[in-house]
Structure 1
Amino acid sequence: MPEPSPTPKRRGRLLRIGAALAVLLAVAGYLTVQYLTGGTGPGCEVVSADRDGGAYEFTPEQAVNAATIAAVGTGRGMPERAVTIALATALQESGLRNVDHGDRDSRGLFQQRPSQGWGTAKEIMDSAYAAGMFYEHLTKVRDYTRLPLTVAAQRVQRSGFPQAYARHERDATLLSAALTGRAAATLTCQGRPGISAATGPAAVRAALVRDFGRDVVQEAGAQVGGRGGAAPPSAAPDGGAGTDERTVTLPVRDDTGSRGGRSLAERGWQLAHWAVANASALHIERVSYAGREWTAGVTEGEWRAADGKNADGAGAGSGAVRITTGH
């Protein structure tokens, strides 16, 4: 004898249970993808050094691109204001994502157009190249440091919506303060590695060269792309242990190549924040500088006093930046 069909009330309950299970499975799948890939949602945060509550959350992808923009700017001797203008522009044009599409033939972080003389499509998709081209045009804007950000950005971009840049000035100011090194220990990331993350000291050195130039690695006495990708052992200038096969040590000295009147402390914190911003992409597990240490996976990824170190040394500008990778 066939079983009776479920009553409408029971059928409705089964449908609700099924829908709830589907939602839970979808959420679980989303969270799993976020964890494994390093996340497309906020995984990094920069806070105001003035402790006025100012903060900006952004993704690991955005962090890498922002760090590149800042590194290219300081490498050219550009002031912090120039970096702020560049970051606000990229936030508006692409959301700090290196996209391969846009209006007409626009592409990249700044939505530059090959047809307008910004370079080839391939060149524009190189973040360091695109940032360099933005700064090259910005230097031609007379008194750009004294202009409102929207005016300076518009004279470079020629956008149809020039006032849109203003909405990003606050966030860009926080980012530039951290990524030029002026604001110490203000940038943190969770540091979950991406599935295709590059690993090891060789990958870190290659990325440093990409953003800062070859000098930053040569100053550390490391060989770029050396055999086996490991940095040669050397005595650490801050009195710590020598460089091991997982660690890149970057001395911060008078000849470190700081330009534009920036202090050694700013140079050191720029390198330290750059490493944290690249933690997910390069599988960096730990960064230390001036008595502070950031460790991937620690709650909120905050900077803490290193063992046996005085955290008050955050602005001392002495010693070396140590970047320890997972492999």
Structure 2
Amino acid sequence: MAILAETGPPVPPPVDGPPPRRQLGRALKYIVTVCAVCAVATVGVVVGLNRLTGSGPVTERCTAALDGSNWYLSPDQADNAALVAGTAVARGLPARAATIGLATALQESKLINIDYGDRDSVGLFQQRPSQGWGDPQQILDPVYSTNAFYDVLVEVEGYEDMEVTDAAQTVQRSAYPDAYAQHETRSRAWASALTGNSPAALSCELAPVADADQVAPDAARDAVAGRLGRDLGLAPATGTADPNRQDPASVTVTVDATPLTPDDPQRGGWATGQWAVATAQSTQAVEVHVDDRVWLRDEAAWVDAETRLPPGEVSITVDATE
């Protein structure tokens, strides 16, 4: 007896050539939909992480805004930028000098005080002991290296009107003289904020101050005072507990910034205030008050203050612990 094979629906013969246009359209729509869902999910995860209660930003960063554009640096870079620009202000140099200094340090070391480099180069500006910049230990002191850079820059006749890359090259004698130009716009944004010419233009997104990083009120005040003196040559007028904060250990340091820019105390106040924001990671600053604006670490933004400070006066509030 013959055995019949199981049968099913007829199998269509193979079709030569590309699939019908309708099938291609459906496939493309499916791929686009999947990609869109994945993109939305990714954004949602990032936003969700940023909004987790009690957590800091996924990526800590600092921003200087100029002409509608934002220019970012890491907190460590911002801390060094505050020194480079602050030194220029303290020396009575124009904002152009700060722009040249920042562009040079960005190219040479990415604004990080590194202990290595090409041949014997070290430090923020990758200065070489063999070229007479000092010994390695001196050059690795960012205060020394920054002042050494400006000591040479101010001897360059007409540097204020030179292209940034030409002025930087005249000081540095680099093997890549055109490389400084790529950092000009970013440096100009940061210089404008840190010299006080662009008020409320600099902010930082930072994690909350960890309990383990908090120090006693006196030590917190001394840390701010030390940096004010080192970077800007300023001394705090007062350093007292802040009665407006829930934590009684928090310290508010009040600074008279008018010596920075005697002819324009308001600019000196903004230079000091935005310096305080740029250095907030190391000083543990949580609030900076200038004029009628206050920067809040929790908000990562400048907001309207309840009171207006006199021109040139700045208050810096630092988290501390008993």
> Are 2:259 and 1:257 aligned?
yes
> Are 2:286 and 1:270 aligned?
no
Assess if the C-alpha contact under 8 Å between 1:93 and 1:109 holds in 2: yes
Number of equivalent positions: 262
Q: How far, CA to CA, are the matches of 1:55 and 1:89 in structure 2?
A: 20
SS in 2 for 1:221: strand
* Percentage of matched positions with identical amino acids: 40
> Are 2:226 and 1:221 aligned?
no
Deviation at 1:72, TM superposition (A): 0.9
Q: Residue by residue, what CA displacement relative to the aligned partner does 1:273-304 show, whole Å, maximum 9, x if unpaired?
A: 01100111111111111010111121xx1100
Assess if the C-alpha contact under 8 Å between 1:44 and 1:58 holds in 2: yes
Q: How far, CA to CA, are the matches of 1:136 and 1:193 in structure 2?
A: 38
Q: How far, CA to CA, are the matches of 2:170 and 2:125 in structure 1?
A: 13
Structure showing greater Rg: 2
Q: Residue by residue, what CA displacement relative to the aligned partner does 1:228-260 show, whole Å, maximum 9, x if unpaired?
A: xxx3689xxxxxxxxx961100134xxx3134x
Q: 2:70 aligns with which of 35, 47, 55?
A: 55
Q: Identify if the C-alpha distance between structure 1 residues 93 and 319 changes in structure 2 by more than 3 Å, giving closer, same or farther.
A: closer
> Are 2:302 and 1:303 aligned?
yes
Q: How far, CA to CA, are the matches of 1:197 and 1:124 in structure 2?
A: 29
Q: How far, CA to CA, are the matches of 1:212 and 1:59 in structure 2?
A: 21
**Residue in 2 aligned with 1:288?**
289
**Residue in 1 aligned with 2:146?**
131
SS in 1 for 2:117: coil
**Residue in 2 aligned with 1:46?**
64
Q: How far, CA to CA, are the matches of 2:214 and 2:138 in structure 1?
A: 22
Q: Identify if the C-alpha distance between structure 1 residues 130 and 190 changes in structure 2 by more than 3 Å, giving closer, same or farther.
A: same
Q: Identify if the C-alpha distance between structure 1 residues 41 and 102 changes in structure 2 by more than 3 Å, giving closer, same or farther.
A: farther
Assess if the C-alpha contact under 8 Å between 2:61 and 2:73 holds in 1: yes
The one-letter amino acid of 2:205's match is Q
Q: Identify if the C-alpha distance between structure 1 residues 88 and 42 changes in structure 2 by more than 3 Å, giving closer, same or farther.
A: farther
How does 1:1-327 map onto structure 2 within 5 Å? Answer: 43-48=61-66, 52-192=67-207, 199=215, 200-213=220-233, 216-217=234-235, 220-222=236-238, 231=239, 246-252=251-257, 256-259=258-261, 263-298=264-299, 301-307=300-306, 309=307, 318=311, 320-327=313-320
Assess if the C-alpha contact under 8 Å between 1:42 and 1:57 holds in 2: no
Q: Identify if the C-alpha distance between structure 1 residues 153 and 303 changes in structure 2 by more than 3 Å, giving closer, same or farther.
A: same
Deviation at 1:66, TM superposition (A): 0.2
Deviation at 1:197, TM superposition (A): 5.5
Please tell me the root mean square deviation across aligned C-alpha atoms, in Å.
3.0
Assess if the C-alpha contact under 8 Å between 2:99 and 2:188 holds in 1: yes
Structure 2 stretches lacking a partner, 5+ long:
1-44, 243-248
Assess if the C-alpha contact under 8 Å between 1:193 and 1:279 holds in 2: no
Q: Identify if the C-alpha distance between structure 1 residues 39 and 63 changes in structure 2 by more than 3 Å, giving closer, same or farther.
A: farther
Q: How far, CA to CA, are the matches of 1:102 and 1:285 in structure 2?
A: 35
Structure holding more strand per residue: 2
SS in 2 for 1:192: coil
Q: How far, CA to CA, are the matches of 2:157 and 2:214 in structure 1?
A: 41
Q: TM-score, normalised by structure 2?
A: 0.74
Structure 1 stretches lacking a partner, 5+ long:
1-26, 223-230, 235-243
Q: How far, CA to CA, are the matches of 2:266 and 2:311 in structure 1?
A: 7
